[in-house]
Amino acid sequence: MSELRVQPLVLTDQDVVLVTGGTGLFGKAVEHVVKQDNLPGSWVFLGSKDGDLRDLSACKALFEKYKPTYVLHLAAFVGGLFKNMNFKVSFWLDNVNMNNNILSCCYEYGVKKTISCLSTCVFPDKIEYPITEDKLHVGPPHFSNDAYAYAKRMLDMLSVWYNEQAVREGKESRFSSVIPTNLYGPHDNFNVENGHVLPGLMHKCYKAQKGGSDFIVYGSGKPLRQFLFSHDAARMLLWTMLNYQSQEPIMLCVSEEDEKSIGQVAQSIKDAFNFSGNMIFDTSKADGQFKKTASNAKMLRLNPTFKYTPFDEAIKTTVQWFLDNYETARK
């Protein structure tokens, strides 16, 4: 089967697209793009207040209520390096329970297309770079987030097993997944202890500026990451839903040459805040994985006209959102 549909799927006003994790960073970016592009169909952006997806009966009630024709499964127990190291049992149990429930409902309710979400941090730690999608299961993940990594890898396998079952039952295979790298953008989780690095640094720079203290960056600042603006990831995800028909996962990331060190992005954030105080590296804190450079070759081969938002523009947009929404932002 070719990776690309001969004819892209076309959304109609009769379609119902259920976005689990719709109130999170990635889900809110999808909502932004859906509104900006005025996409047809009924779009349902779920948060945990609509139902705890760890509970199968709650999931079934949502599928009964909405009868989705498409599902973007973004909901997850998510966090940065430090949260991953401290809450491994929850990263495994919460994510495996949500994933099992959602995919079983998608199969039972005959959803046309289900796209699930993995992460570039779930690849093997010792691997040749740039990482390609086919390397997902070839070795153990980094110890710092192994519980999350195994939960996500099993999500990929569950998609494959449901596709095999669909084909045995004479149905179309309809499950696939995307593998985003580190995302950032409006509606992120700016909590310093449990959030990801970019929103954590933004919150710390804000406090340093307000309090006249040093801007503390955890670790050496040497680790390398590819940061993808959430709005760009959302556009890639929506393109994947309508155009991509392989069950093999597809990476959502910037090019290798756009990889930056933690120190470089800390400087970009310092500049975005016009912070003139000291920036200090607290090397008593963990660095985590040194790098996890992923390849965007497959996405650009299949979707060659994709245009990324320039990094500094995306950082400024995120910082401005944080300042404008400080009172209500997750922090």
Kindly state whether residue 74 participates in binding ligand NAP, applying the rule CB under 6 A: yes
Amino acid (1-letter code) at residue 86:
N
Binding mask 67-86 for ligand GFB (x = CB under 6 A): -------------xxx-x--
280: tokens are 């200090």
- Residue (63 or 94) nearer to ligand GFB, CB: 94
- CA 10 distance to own-chain centroid: 24
* Residue 109 annotated in active site: no
User: Which of 57, 49, 108 shows the shortest CA–CA distance to 75?
Assistant: 49
d(CA 161, CA 49): 30
Binding residue (CB under 6 A) for ligand NAP from 69, 101, 119, 163: 119
Q: Which helix (H) or strand (E) holds 192?
A: none
The residue range among 3-11, 46-54, 240-248, 253-261 that interacts with ligand NAP, by the rule CB under 6 A, is: 46-54
Binding residue (CB under 6 A) for ligand NAP from 11, 17, 26, 215: 26
Token pair 């005959």 is found at 110
C-alpha dist (Å) from residue 200 to 5, 19, 74, 196, 232: 40, 26, 21, 6, 21
C-alpha dist (Å) from residue 211 to 89, 205, 329: 36, 10, 19
Give the one entry of ligand NAP, ligand GFB, none that residue 141 binds, where binding means its C-beta sits below a cut-off of 5 to 8 angstroms depending on kind: none
- Residue (201 or 236) nearer to ligand GFB, CB: 201
Kindly state whether residue 141 participates in binding ligand NAP, applying the rule CB under 6 A: no
Kindly state whether residue 53 participates in binding ligand NAP, applying the rule CB under 6 A: yes
Neighbours of 218 (CB within 10 A): 23
The residue range among 18-26, 85-93, 133-141, 293-301 that interacts with ligand NAP, by the rule CB under 6 A, is: 18-26
Angle at the Cα of 311 from the Cα atoms of 305 and 314, rounded to 5 degrees: 95
Considering 70, 107, 148, 244, which one is annotated as catalytic?
148
Kindly state whether residue 191 participates in binding ligand NAP, applying the rule CB under 6 A: no
Kindly state whether residue 25 participates in binding ligand NAP, applying the rule CB under 6 A: yes
List CB contacts of 13: < 8 A, sequence separation 6 or more.
40, 41, 42
Residue numbers of the site for ligand GFB (CB under 6 A)?
A: 80-82, 84, 119, 121, 145, 148, 182, 192, 196-197, 200-201, 204, 217-219, 223, 225, 262, 285-289
Binding site for ligand NAP (CB under 6 A): 21-27, 47-49, 52-54, 74-78, 98, 117, 119, 180, 182-183, 189, 196
